[in-house]
Amino acid sequence: MKLADYLRVNGITLEAFAKSIGRSAATVSRLARGRQKPDWTTMEAITAATSGAVKPNDFAERTAA
C-alpha cells in the first residue's frame, strides 16, 4: 500500500504521522508524493507505524515489462 493511500484511508494527517515516526511533515509529504525515497531507518519506522501495511517495496518504482 502506498503511504499516501494509507494516510488517506486511515484519516491520518501528515503532521500526526510525521510525529509518530520522528520525521518532519515536509519529509512525510515528499515520501507520500513519491518525491523522496525513505532511508532504511525511516522505512523501518514507517513499516512499524503502519503495522506492516506500507512496506519497502511500496516505494519501488514500477516499470513496464
Residue 28: its pLDDT value, please? 97
- 39 part of a folded domain: yes
Number of structural domains in the chain: 1
Residue 62: its pLDDT value, please? 65
Is residue 4 within 8 Å of 54, Cβ to Cβ?
no
Give CA–CA dist 46/50, Å, rounded: 6
* Vertex 64: Cα angle to 58 and 65 (nearest 5): 110
Q: Which domain holds residue 25?
A: 3-51
Sign of CA dihedral 50, 54, 55, 60: negative
Mean pLDDT by 10 residues, the chain (65 residues): 97 98 98 95 97 93 63
- 60 part of a folded domain: no
How many angstroms separate the Cα of 56 from the Cα of each of 4, 24, 37?
14, 19, 10
Amino acid at 5: D
> 27: domain CATH number?
1.10.260
